Homo-oligomer: A and B are copies of this chain.
C-alpha cells in the first residue's frame, strides 16, 4: 500500500477519469491505472467501476475516497506545522466565510493583515455557514467566519461578536436624518429583505414577530449586493449591519439608522476553528489579528 496510490486515487475521484487524473498529475494514464489496481488488491475490493465513458466509484470506493482526501490534507497540514517551527514565515491560510456581509468585515482585515505578512497566501471561499463548518471538520479550512455558527461538534468558537442590524436607507430618504426608527414606522416603508435562506432573515422576522407584525417586503433577494443597490436607488430600505455598508455611509450615499427602543436585530458573527487541529502559525496569527481587530471595532465587549 502506497501513499502515491492514494494521491492518484484522490485525483481520480475528482476527475472521474483515469486519463484526466493522469493529465492533472503529469503522469501517464497507465501509471494511474496501475496504482488503482494496487489499491484494489490491497483492499481486496473493487474501488471503481470501469466503463468506456470514464469510471464510477463503487461503495468501497466512496468509503476510501472520503478518507483519502482527509489523510492527504492532514499530512500536508503537518508539513506546514513543521515549516512553522523552522520559523519560515510562509504558508497559506484557508478561510471559509459566509455571505457578502462577512466579506465586508473580512476583506479589510485581510488587506491589512497581508501587508503585515507579505509572504502569506490566502484562500477565501464564500459559502454557507453549514459548508464552512463542514470544511473545518474535514480539515479543508483553517478558519471559518460565519453568522450564527451552528452548535456543532468538531468546531470551536474562538470569538463571537454581536452585530446590530440598522435600518439602511438612501441619504435622500426623508428619514435618513432620524435618530431612530420604530418597528411600526419600518412597516410602512418599502422593504428589501434577504430571503429566508439567510440567518439574518430569521432574526428580522423575529423582530417583527415580537411586535405581532408581519413584514411585507417589496423585494426579497438572496444577494446582499442587490439589497444595497435597491436602497442606493431609493427603491427600498433594508436592514443590514452598519459595517456592511460603512463605505457607502462614509461616502454620503447611505444612512444607517438604529431601530428604536433597543429592539435592534442582533446576530452573532462567529470566528470558528477546529478543536482537534493545531493552527498553523499563519492561521494563528490571522485569528489573533481578527480578534484584536474586532476588539478595537467593538470595544464594548
Q: Which residues of B contact A48 (CB under 8 A)?
A: none
Given contacts A2-B3, A154-B153, A275-B153, contact A44 B86 (CB under 8 A): yes
A residues whose Cβ falls under 8 Å from a Cβ of B: 1-4, 6, 42-45, 59-60, 63-64, 67, 70-71, 74-75, 77-79, 81-83, 85-86, 137, 153-154, 156, 275-276
The answer to whether A137 and B81 have CB atoms under 8 Å apart is no
The answer to whether B1 and A2 have CB atoms under 8 Å apart is no
The answer to whether B81 and A63 have CB atoms under 8 Å apart is yes
Q: Which residues of B contact A79 (CB under 8 A)?
A: 42-43
* Cβ of A65 to closest chain B Cβ, rounded Å: 10
The answer to whether B1 and A75 have CB atoms under 8 Å apart is yes
Q: Which residues of B contact A70 (CB under 8 A)?
A: 74
The answer to whether B82 and A43 have CB atoms under 8 Å apart is yes
Q: Which residues of B contact A1 (CB under 8 A)?
A: 3, 75
The answer to whether A71 and B75 have CB atoms under 8 Å apart is yes
* Cβ of A46 to closest chain B Cβ, rounded Å: 10
The answer to whether A78 and B74 have CB atoms under 8 Å apart is no
Query: Which 4 pairs, one residue from A and one from B, show the smallest C-beta to C-beta distance?
Result: A3-B3, A60-B82, A67-B78, A43-B82
The answer to whether A85 and B60 have CB atoms under 8 Å apart is yes
Q: Which residues of B contact A75 (CB under 8 A)?
A: 1, 67, 71
The answer to whether A67 and B60 have CB atoms under 8 Å apart is no
